[in-house]
Chain A
């Protein structure tokens, strides 16, 4: 399952997508939760009883602002969260 956390508003579309099938193969025990400087990730038990990563609820509505530290105006090539996730379960839409 792909869980897309985030929103679209007048200024753009901001989604962090987590592929829960890949997430369940996490070899490094939730590296994402330690990699994010804003501590935006958490591990939840989803509706299908899988232990997977998710974006914490308060952050889901402020992604454009919360991720600015890792996304300078000049552009970015790597992000701590996607780098830490070796199964490649995390994707940013912007």
Chain B
């Protein structure tokens, strides 16, 4: 039995197809049968994009639409996914997917492009509570992306650079737009890029940690979303949270889509 989860994000669409296997009577999920994702082209409608990616995923999996028992959508554009039978919030999907991948996780940190949030999850992946700062770029991944452009340092190198920093420098600006100017001034003052990179990642980590404190930080903490690939951010996050361990699941950008697919599987059963 196959199900599909579609995460219709602001920047990209992620699709996960799940195959439920029955092993000795107990259902097991073989996750990640196939997944595809595409950078959301600005001139495609959201539901056109969703259709396109879904079609690509099915093709890559060698499946037809009829074989998919249920489709659930999540993400900011979830209502635009017309062919989904249901939708769930990113918060629910994120928690479900994160706990499935990391069963010991109780606090989920999700730093998306447009929002940084903390989610308290129960052992079954249900959301106990959550807190986030929506619609302010400074509290989300958009901050780091912006500074990466201002520093002319690709995000991939950003993390490595920040780990080399020996110094904590203050960042006064709390707004992405003002911070760009501050970074430019720091560069003119010959501040090492490593120190600036660290200050930027520390800033994002501290903001999302403050949100997580509103739900209470309970270990294990798991980080989901693209920032998982940024070791500098992971370190900043550990420092801000005051924990030694932050779990980093595989294919972290797909956790939301996975969570939606898991919800689809449960509903279909």
Contact = CB atoms under 8 A, between A and B. Distances in A.
Tell whether any CB of A sits under 8 Å from a CB of B in the complex: yes
B206 interface: yes
Given A72-B214, A73-B214, A65 B135 contact: no
A11 B130 contact: no
B135 A71 contact: no
Contact of A64 (B133, B137, B175, B215): B133
B137 A10 contact: yes
Contacts of A66: 210
A78 to B, nearest CB: 16
B134 interface: yes
B53 interface: no
A73 B135 contact: no
Given A10-B134, A11-B134, A73-B130, A65 B216 contact: no
A9 B139 CA distance: 11
Interface residues of A, number: 15
A74 B211 contact: no
Contacts, number: 39
Interface string A64-87: 111011011110000000000000
Given A72-B215, A73-B130, A65 B136 contact: no
A47 B194 CA distance: 42
Nearest to B206: A65
Contacts of A65: 206-207, 210-211
B131 interface: yes
B89 to A, nearest CB: 15
A9 B214 contact: no
A74 B129 CA distance: 7
B214 A62 contact: no
A66 B211 CA distance: 10
Instruction: Give the top 7 A-B pairs by smallest Cβ distance, nearest first.
Output: A10-B135, A65-B210, A10-B136, A11-B136, A73-B131, A11-B133, A73-B214
Given A10-B134, A64-B210, 15 more contacts: A9-B136, A10-B137, A11-B133, A11-B134, A11-B135, A11-B136, A11-B139, A61-B174, A65-B207, A65-B211, A68-B210, A68-B214, A72-B214, A73-B214, A73-B215
20 contacts: A9-B136, A11-B134, A11-B135, A12-B133, A61-B174, A64-B133, A64-B210, A65-B206, A65-B207, A68-B131, A68-B211, A68-B213, A72-B214, A72-B215, A72-B216, A73-B120, A73-B130, A73-B131, A73-B214, A73-B215
